[in-house]
Amino acid sequence: MTVETKVTEFANYINGEWVPASNGETFDIVNPANGQIAAKAAKSSLIEVEQVVKSARETYESGVWSNKSVVERSQVLLRFAAKIQEHANEIIYLEGISSGGTIRKLAGADIMQLAMTLKDTADYALKYEFVEPLPVVDYVGASRSEIVREPLGVVAAITPWNFPLILAMWKIAPALAMGNSIIVKPATNTPLGTLKLAELAIEAGLPPGVFNVITGPGGVVGEALVTHPQVDKVAFTGSTEVGKKIMSLAAGTIKKVTLELGGKSPSIVLPDVDFETAIPGILFGVFFHSGQVCESGTRLLVHDSIYEEVVEKLAAASSKIKLGNPMDPATGMGPVVSKHQMETILSYIKSGLDEGARLVCGGKRASGENLDEGYFIEPTIFADVTNDMKIAQEEIFGPVLSVIKYSTEEEAIAIANDTIYGLAAGVWSKDITKANQIAGKLKAGTVWINDWHAFRNDAPFGGYKQSGTGRELGKRMFDEYTETKHIHTSLASEIGQRKSFGLIF
Ligand code: NAD
C-alpha cells in the first residue's frame, strides 16, 4: 500500500487571506514515507515578511483582540479547540504527508494534545493574575500599588519539523490568551498543518491578522522576523545551533526570547529495575517518532551487574517494533523526516562504529515492502558506548540508542550530567525514594521516574544549560507572553506627606 498524494500549492496565511510569495516562488514538500512531492508552499521573501509584520502589528494596535476581555478570548480558544477536533482528519492527512508521523501518533496524541492545550490554556488564563495589588509599605508613603500584566504585542514563533503542530500550539495558545498577535514561521518540511490551524482559528472567531503563518527558509524569513523592530518576542523551538544565532540576532533589538533547543537526555537504570515496564519504556523513550523528539532518552546508563541482560532484552524488544507506512495503524515507527536527516543519522551510526561502539541491532536504512522508497532507519542500539564518543555527546535526532555502563550511583549521575544539554533525564528503579534522590541531582528541566514523554499542560517544559531558556506550558507560561507594569498611585493629599520630594527641595 502506498500513501496517496496530490500536489497542491499552499500560500502564506496573512490577515485572514491566502497570500502567495510575490515572486511566485515555491518550495517542495516531500513525503518521507515514499520520497514523492506531496505539496508545494510559498517561498516567501522579505516583502511578505514586511506584509505579515505590518498586518500583525496593526491588528494588535487596533485592539480588536488585545482589548477583548480574557473571558471573550478564552471562549474563542475553546471554539478553536472544537474546530481542530472537527477537522482532525484533514489535519492528520496534512501532517502525515509531510512529517512522516504515524497515524497512531497523529490521531492518538497530536490532535488530542492540540485541543487539550487550547482548553487548558483557556482555563488557566481565566485564573491568571492580570492585576496583583501590593500591600501598603511605609517607605513610599500612603499609596496604592499594583502589578499589571499586559500583552507584549507581536510574537514571532519559529518552529521545527518534528512536532510541528504541538510545538506551534505551545506558543500560539498562550500568545493568543494574553491578547498578542502572532506570526508563525514553520519549518520548511512541515508547514501544512500550521497553515490549516490559522484558517481554523479565524473560523473559530479570531479576528483576521491576529494569527498569521508565513512559510519560507529560516535563514531569510526567520532571521527577518528575529531582527524586525516591530516584533516584540521570538518563541523558538529548534536546534541549539540555530538557537544561539537567534539569541545573538535578537540582541540588536533587545527582543524577548524563549528558546527550546536540543537534548541528549540520560536515562539511568538501577540494578533493582522492573524489566517488564522498563524495557518497553526505555524503547518508547528513544524510538517514539523514530527518535525525532528533543527530549528522547538517547543515552542509557546501565549498572554493570545487569548490563548484558538489559542490552539483550532491549535488542529482543526492538525487533518487535513494526516499521512501515505511517498511515497504517499497525505501524509503530515511520520514516525520518527527510533524505538529509536520514543521511545525517547514518553518518552518526558510522561514527559510532568508527569509535569502537558495539552495534547490537539495526544500524542501517530499512528495506522491504513499503520501505524502499521512504527514509526509514532500523531501530539501532549501540552497546559499550563511552560518554566521550560523538554518539553520546551530539544530538542525532534519529532512532539510535547509546548504552553506557556504570558501576556506582555517583558515576551514573556524573555521566548523566556530563553534556552541554539539560532538557530531560530519567531513572528506572523500584526504589522510588532513591530514584527521587537521584532526580534531585540531575541537571535537566524534566525528570521522569519509571516513565518517558509524560507531558502535562500544567507542568513547565524547558531546558537547563544549552537546551534553552524560558519555559513553555505550566501556569506561569503567561509570564513569557506578557509585559510587567507597576502602577503606583500616591494617596498622600498634602505636600508635607511627600518625604521624597524633600530630597531636592
Ligand atoms: P532547526 O533549528 O534547523 O530549525 C528550526 C526552525 O528554525 C525552522 O523553522 C527553521 O526554518 C528555522 N531557522 C533555521 N535557521 C534559522 C535562522 N538563521 N534564523 C531564524 N530561523 C531559522 O531545527 P529542526 O531541524 O527543524 O528541528 C530539530 C531540532 O529542534 C533538534 O535539535 C531538536 O532537539 C530541536 N527541538 C527542540 C525541542 C524542545 O522543545 N526543546 C522540541 C523539538 C525539537
Whether 184 and 212 have beta carbons less than 8 Å apart is answered as yes
Instruction: Please state the domain extents for the chain.
Output: 48-260+475-485, 266-449
Superfamily of domain 266-449, CATH level 4:
Aldehyde Dehydrogenase; Chain A, domain 2 (3.40.309.10)
What is the C-alpha to C-alpha distance for residues 77 and 72, in angstroms, rounded to an integer? 9
Q: Is the CB of 187 under 6 A from ligand 1?
A: yes
pLDDT by residue for the chain (505 residues), tens digit each? Answer: 455 545 899 999 999 999 999 999 999 999 999 999 999 999 999 999 999 999 999 999 999 999 999 999 999 999 999 999 999 999 999 999 999 999 999 999 999 999 999 999 999 999 999 999 999 898 888 999 999 999 999 999 999 999 999 999 999 999 999 999 999 999 999 999 999 999 999 999 999 999 999 999 999 999 999 999 999 999 999 999 999 999 999 999 999 999 999 999 999 999 999 999 999 999 999 999 999 999 999 999 999 999 999 999 999 999 999 999 999 999 999 999 999 999 999 999 999 999 999 999 999 999 998 899 999 999 999 999 999 999 999 999 999 999 999 999 999 999 999 999 999 999 999 999 999 999 999 999 999 999 999 999 999 999 999 999 999 999 899 999 999 999 999 999 888 888 888 899 8
Q: Report the nearest atom of ligand 1 relative to the CA of 160.
A: 26
What is the C-alpha to C-alpha distance for residues 221 and 322, in angstroms, rounded to an integer? 38
Ligand 1 centroid distance, CA of 28 (Å): 19
What is the C-alpha to C-alpha distance for residues 294 and 428, in angstroms, rounded to an integer? 20
Ligand 1 centroid distance, CA of 237 (Å): 5
Class for domain 48-260+475-485, per CATH? Answer: alpha beta
Measure Cα distances from 113 to 81, 118, 163, 182 in Å: 10, 8, 11, 20
Which residues make beta-bridge pairs with 381? Answer: 361, 401
Residues in the chain: 505
Neighbouring C-beta atoms of residue 3, cutoff 10 Å: 20
Q: Is the CB of 473 under 6 A from ligand 1?
A: no
Catalytic residues: 260
Q: Report the nearest atom of ligand 1 relative to the CA of 461.
A: 40
Return the residue whose CA atom lies nearest to atom 30 of ligand 1.
Answer: 238
Greatest distance between any 2 Cα atoms in the chain: 89
Q: How far apart are the first and last CA of the chain?
A: 87
What is the C-alpha to C-alpha distance for residues 179 and 289, in angstroms, rounded to an integer? 33
Q: Say yes or no: do domains 48-260+475-485 and 266-449 share a fold.
A: no
Q: Is the CB of 329 under 6 A from ligand 1?
A: no
Ligand 1 centroid distance, CA of 137 (Å): 47
Q: Which residue has the cell 542509557?
A: 300
What is the C-alpha to C-alpha distance for residues 63 and 449, in angstroms, rounded to an integer? 46
Q: Report the nearest atom of ligand 1 relative to the CA of 260.
A: 41
Q: Is the CB of 158 under 6 A from ligand 1?
A: yes
Whether 365 and 346 have beta carbons less than 8 Å apart is answered as yes
Q: Is the CB of 246 under 6 A from ligand 1?
A: yes
**98, 105, 117, 158: which to mutate for ligand 1, most atoms within 8 A of CB?**
158
Closest CA to 476 of 182, 76, 121: 121
Return the residue whose CA atom lies nearest to atom 9 of ligand 1.
Answer: 187
